[in-house]
Structure 1
Amino acid sequence: MAAHLITGAGSGIGAVLAERLAERGDDLWLLARDARRAAELRERFPGAQTLVGDLGAPAKLSWAFGHQAMPIELDSLLHVAGVVELGQVGELPVKAWQDTLNVNLVAPAELTRLLLPSLRLVKGHVVFVNSGAGLNAHADWSAYAASKHGLKALADSLRLEEHGHGVRVTSVYPGRTATAMQRKVHQQEGKEYDADRFITPESVVKAILTALDVPRDAEITDITVRPGS
């Protein structure tokens, strides 16, 4: 039975991923920003364990985890949580940059650092759910794209550093996916939201599970998921 720690399990891709792993009988550790959210996750996913830590304040994660039970062995660390704030470079305030970089880049780096000992014990797997914006930046997407380009660099460096420990690292680059984040993006863009036009969270989760399940003689490093025709 494998153990997985998931961020962003409250909705979208993270929620579907938690459901699929729970159906397989695996152990779930779910990160929540506060105690109330942790209780909601435990109710939604009976048997799951929760950790409380705010990705928006990555400098406090080490202290927060020092007061909680942590997984001793971890088969995968699944970074799914993320935030987005659209705006032109000439208009985005510093806070928007800091908030985006904290959640999308600095927190994944710190969370990975704190959990590497548990991953190394069982030659685990780190999966970063990135974005098409991590490969190409467009107008009005500067802060988000910068955070996701940085996340790609984090994954690429980590992969080389941890190869000798047997830890695998995968980046997944979904196109626009039908999630609450996509609804928010459409609101910011002033466009009507139609979920049927986008990738389903289930399709992205299938790609993630493929990376997790590939035999140990191989490593899927990068997966790009685009809307079908």
Structure 2
Amino acid sequence: MRTHLVTGAGSGMGAVLARELLGRGDAVVLLARSAARAEELRAQYAGATTLVANLADPVGVERALAGAALPQRLDSLLHVAGVVDLAPVAELDLTDWQRQLDVNLTSPALLTRTLLPALRAARGLVVFVNSGAGLTAHPTWSGYAASKFGLRALADALRGEEGDAGVRVTTVYPGRTATPMQEKVHAQEGKEYDPSQWITPESVASTVLHVLDLPRDATIPDVTVRPGPRG
């Protein structure tokens, strides 16, 4: 039985991954931002265990992890959680900017650092679900893109540092995906949201599972997933 830790399991890609991994009979640990949210996730995913740490509070993440019962072996750490707030640079709000950096970059770095001994023990895999915004920054996307460019750098550095320990690192760059986050983005852009125009969470999750299931003689450092042709 393999063991996986998933962030962002409440909806979208993270929810699909949690269901698929549990359906295989694997052990799954779900990160929850609060004790109440942890209870909801345990009810939603029978057989899963939870770890409480709020990614929006990196200091709290360090404190929570220091006192938690963490897996001794971890086959994968799947970073799926994220937040987005669009604004032009001229109208940047410090709270929104900082929250995106905390949730999308700083806390994933801290979580990865803490779990590296377990990942090394299992010769495990770290997957960072990034974004097309981690490759190209468009107007009004500066805060989110900055966090995702940083996440790309974190993944690249980690890959070079941990290869000799047998830890593989993959970054997945999905295009626009039909998730609650995408619905929020459309609202911020003032556009009508039609989920049928975008990638399904299942398609992105299948890409992550493909990477997870690769034989040990292979690795995919980076993979981009884009919406297919319509009609």
Q: Could you tell me how far 1:65 is from its partner in structure 2? A: 2.1
Task: Please list the CA deviations of residues 120-174 of structure 1 after superposition, one character each: whole Å capped at 9, or x if unmatched.
Answer: 0010000000000000010000000111011000000000000010000000000
What is the distance in 2 between the residues matched to 1:23 and 1:68?
26
Corresponding residue for residue 100 of structure 2: 100
What is the distance in 2 between the residues matched to 1:195 and 1:34?
29
What is the distance in 1 between the residues matched to 2:48 and 2:101?
28
Task: Please list the CA deviations of residues 23-77 of structure 1 after superposition, one character each: whole Å capped at 9, or x if unmatched.
Answer: 1111000000000000000001111110000100112212112332211110000
Q: Could you tell me how far 1:95 is from its partner in structure 2? A: 1.2
What is the distance in 2 between the residues matched to 1:30 and 1:185?
25
**Superposition pairs for residues 194-213 of structure 1, below 5 Å?**
194-213=194-213
Task: Please list the CA deviations of residues 199-229 of structure 1 after superposition, one character each: whole Å capped at 9, or x if unmatched.
Answer: 0000000100111111101111111000001
Matched, 1:125 2:114: no
TM-score by length of 1: 0.99
Unaligned 5+ segments in structure 2 are none
* SS, match of residue 154 in structure 1: helix
* Sequence identity percentage: 63
Q: Could you tell me how far 1:185 is from its partner in structure 2? A: 0.3
TM-score by length of 2: 0.98
* SS, match of residue 199 in structure 1: coil
Corresponding residue for residue 216 of structure 2: 216
Corresponding residue for residue 61 of structure 2: 61
What is the distance in 1 between the residues matched to 2:120 and 2:58?
22
Detail structure 1 runs of 4+ shifted over 3 Å in the superposition: none
Matched, 1:226 2:226: yes
Matched, 1:164 2:164: yes
**Superposition pairs for residues 1-229 of structure 1, below 5 Å?**
1-229=1-229
Task: Please list the CA deviations of residues 78-98 of structure 1 after superposition, one character each: whole Å capped at 9, or x if unmatched.
Answer: 000000000000101111111
Decide which moves more: 204-213 or 65-74: 65-74
Q: Could you tell me how far 1:100 is from its partner in structure 2? A: 0.5
* SS, match of residue 90 in structure 1: helix
| Amino acid of the structure 2 residue aligned with 1:223 | V
Q: Please, what is the CA RMSD of the aligned residues?
A: 0.6
| Amino acid of the structure 2 residue aligned with 1:175 | G
What is the distance in 2 between the residues matched to 1:62 and 1:86?
28
Q: Could you tell me how far 1:195 is from its partner in structure 2? A: 0.4
What is the distance in 1 between the residues matched to 2:67 and 2:15?
26
| Amino acid of the structure 2 residue aligned with 1:98 | Q
Number of equivalences: 229
* SS, match of residue 47 in structure 1: coil
Q: Could you tell me how far 1:106 is from its partner in structure 2? A: 0.3
What is the distance in 1 between the residues matched to 2:148 and 2:63?
26
Unaligned 5+ segments in structure 1 are none
